[in-house]
Amino acid sequence: MAPKAIIFDINETLLDMQEIRHGLADVLNNDESLVDVWFANLLHHSLVDIASSQYHDFIDIGAAALVMVAHSKGIALDNELAKQTIAKHITSLPAHSDVAPALEALKQAGFTLVALSNSSKQGLRAQLNHANIDHYFDHILSVETIRSYKPHPSVYHWACKQAGVSPKEAMMVAAHGWDVSGAKATGMMTTFVSRPGKIMYPLGLPPDHTVATLDELLACISK
In tens, the pLDDT along 160-196 reads 999 999 999 999 999 999 999 999 999 999 999 999 9
Q: What CATH topology corresponds to 18-90?
A: DNA polymerase; domain 1 (1.10.150)
Residues in contact with 163: Cβ distance below 8 Å, sequence separation at least 6, in sequence order: 4, 5, 7, 112, 114, 138, 139, 170
Task: From 213, 146, 153, 162, select the one nearest 186 (Cα to Cα).
Answer: 153
List residues bridging with 171 in a β-sheet. 6, 189
Give whole-number Cα distances, 9 to 32, 62, 205, in Å.
23, 17, 17
To the question of domain 5-16+93-221 being in CATH 3.30.360.10, the answer is no
**pLDDT computed for residue 23 by the predictor:** 87
* CATH 1.10.150.240 residue spans of the chain: 18-90
**pLDDT computed for residue 20 by the predictor:** 87
Three-state SS sequence of 11-47: ECCCECCHHHHHHHHCCCCCCCHHHHHHHHHHHHHHH
Residue 1 has pLDDT above 90, yes or no: no
Residue 106 has pLDDT above 80, yes or no: yes
What pTM, to 2 d.p., does this model score? 0.94
Q: What is the mean pLDDT of residues 106-113?
A: 96
List residues bridging with 116 in a β-sheet. 141
Give the three-class secondary structure for 171: strand
Q: What is the mean pLDDT of residues 114-138?
A: 96
Residue 86 has pLDDT above 70, yes or no: yes
Cα 82 to Cα 121: distance, rounded to the nearest angstrom: 20
* CATH 3.40.50.1000 residue spans of the chain: 5-16+93-221
Q: What is the mean pLDDT of residues 72-92?
A: 93
Q: What is the mean pLDDT of the chain?
A: 95
